[in-house]
Structure 1
Amino acid sequence: MEIKIPKEVHKHKETIFFGLTARQFFCAVAAVGLAAGVYLGLGPVIGRDTASWVCILAAAPLAVAGFFHYNGMTLEQFVWAVVKSELLFAGDRPFASENFYYDLLHRKGGQDFD
């Protein structure tokens, strides 16, 4: 009997069902539920053929969200990082250095180096 131990312990993912992690499993179940709801809701309205394509397009992002990892970030963390860097904190970031020791000497009445 052989037990496989990953080389990097932090990359270990515990599987719960069909070899999927909990995140992957719940995203897959939610995607199937969303696809069924879209198909049953839109099938009589726009036709079953078109509704099947719409349900695939609706469920795909939710299914991908469970498997997405980029630089150790999940999809939500990645989207938040992009929003912060491109929208919230976008713009010029001027560099201004401060010499704390120089300021400390001048505030305390120490020696003047000018």
Structure 2
Amino acid sequence: MCLLFKERLGTEFTSWLCMLGAAPFAALGFIRFQGMYTEDIVKMAISSFALSTRNLINVPFNLYYEILEPFINQSRKESIVHDKKLRKIEKAQQRKNKSA
């Protein structure tokens, strides 16, 4: 940039243009995002967007439900015995399953 504009615009104006052109890149050294500096962000972006081509699938998984499922089903069965509304709902579901 310096060599292109030095003869046309003069030395002083060209030096100001060079400083203005370099200022954004100098400012990038002070930017931090999630504990990473700009060069780390650029490295991560290149590695994640350009180098990895895997299709990622997000499948929800409830670990607590998986662990406690037997206890939940047992307590539900026990509550059906003592709760009239739940017994009716259970019978309705059984009828629905038989007819389908």
TM bin, normalised by shorter chain, reads 0.3 to 0.5
Normalised by the size of structure 2, how large is the TM-score?
0.41
TM-score, normalised on structure 1? Answer: 0.37
Q: Which has the higher contact order (CA 8 A, sep 6+)?
A: 1
Q: Which protein is bigger by CA-based radius of gyration?
A: 2
